[in-house]
Homo-oligomer: A and B are copies of this chain.
Amino acid sequence: MANLRGGDLSRLRQLNSLSAIRALRGAGPLTLSALAERTGLSRPSTKEVVDELAQVGWVEEVPPSPGTMGRPARRYRFRANCGYLVGIDIGAHNVRAALADLDGQVLAETRQPALPGAPLDDRLAAIERAVSGCLTLSGKTVADLWTVAVGTTGIVTPDGRVAYSASVPSWTGLDLAGRLREMFPCEVLVENDSRLAALAESRRGVARGSRDVVFLHVARRMGAALIIDGRLHRGFGTAAGEIGMLPEMRWLQATDHLNGCAIVPEETAPEDAAGYTLAAARSGDPVALDAVGRYLDDLAVGAAAMALLLDPEVVVLGGGFSRAADVLLEPLRERLERSCMRMPEVLASTLGEECVVLGAIDYAVDHLDRQHFTADAGPVPPQAAVTSR
């Protein structure tokens, strides 16, 4: 079922190129021998692979490191700067963008405000401004972009439309991928924002290295996303993670405990109420702490359901409220401890606001690898040949 089709010799080379690239990307400049050891190939074969990669522009030689015994070894590095990726986070109140190299290293970041009720075109314009801001900051042009990956609120269909968005009404029904392809002359990827945040946590965040991760997006609206067997789980209709829609999970009204806390001053803006309560709880206010407790009682139901069902290695607390992790984490652990068969690690996100943007970049990097892995055509995007020496 998996792969019924057998392989060609070129496929073997493809496999080996990929593993060389992965090794180089993971461990900075490497000598031939070091690379050979990592890929499991012999030195001459490694040389062959590296030469080929250098020719098409994926890899280049760097000066050897001096001060070693013996003849200095030639060193090679992944040419992370032969193309660039943009990750975009389309939230209800902000559009964030970051430009990264092919290593996923961020070179520039921008943020554009947007209002939940703003018209469609305003938000699209904000996206364009956010990206061109990144380009200006980093001194690149739109022609340098290989991929634009977008995380957006709402449910995203496989072809990149927004099926439904509760927090950004104008977004529902939009052919987001289509509009973005008009905007940018490169590959465009669209995904749900919580999922990308989960991906970022599993790639470079607190869940790095874990194969099974439950990501809890705690914010005004609650969300969830899953990494299963090291991969983002989308579901058959790309609607996975919507467990919060079930009333019995008690996520729909969970935030009300924070918003409706008695200590919140009347003049507080509705979107700041929960933050106020969390801040008060941190400074020890008993009324606020009680509200947080009830909030967590609700949150823990869905979290426990996920932990019991999937038995993840890690549960990550991300999203806006995870800034208050110090008042949320330990009580959440206690509640999960009571219901779980095997207690997972419970950790707070450390990537903060940029989580989704970083996830989008990681998603773009993954996509590149996937293309390289399966592409029958050229693994090399158009610009590479030009950029090569």
Contact = CB atoms under 8 A, between A and B. Distances in A.
Contact of A308 (B26, B40, B238, B242): B242
B311 A240 contact: yes
Contact of A305 (B3, B239, B246): B246
A238 B341 CA distance: 10
Contact of A235 (B19, B301, B312): B312
A228 B248 CA distance: 24
A140 interface: no
A245 interface: yes
Interface string A211-238: 1100000000000101011110111111
Nearest to A245: B308
Interface in A5-53: 5-7, 9, 11-12, 15-16, 19-20, 22-23, 26, 38-41, 49
B6 A39 contact: yes
Given A242-B341, A305-B305, A342-B239, A4 B39 contact: yes
Contact of A229 (B4, B231, B244): B231
Nearest to A26: B4
B6 A40 contact: yes
Contacts of A41: 6
A310 interface: yes
Contacts of A244: 308
Given A246-B301, A339-B245, A310 B15 contact: no
B341 A155 contact: yes
A322 B233 CA distance: 29
A49 to B, nearest CB: 8
Interface string A237-260: 111111111111110000000000
Contacts of A16: 6-7
A59 B3 CA distance: 20
A2 interface: yes
A164 B311 CA distance: 15
A1 interface: yes
Nearest to A233: B228
A344 interface: yes
Contacts of A211: 236
Nearest to A237: B342
13 contacts: A4-B22, A6-B16, A6-B39, A7-B16, A210-B236, A211-B236, A212-B236, A229-B231, A234-B311, A239-B341, A242-B308, A249-B305, A305-B309
Interface of A: 1-7, 9, 11-12, 15-16, 19-20, 22-23, 26, 38-41, 49, 155, 210-212, 224, 226, 228-231, 233-250, 301-302, 304-306, 308-313, 339, 341-342, 344
**In the A-B complex, the 3 residue pairs with the closest CB atoms:** A235-B311, A6-B16, A236-B313
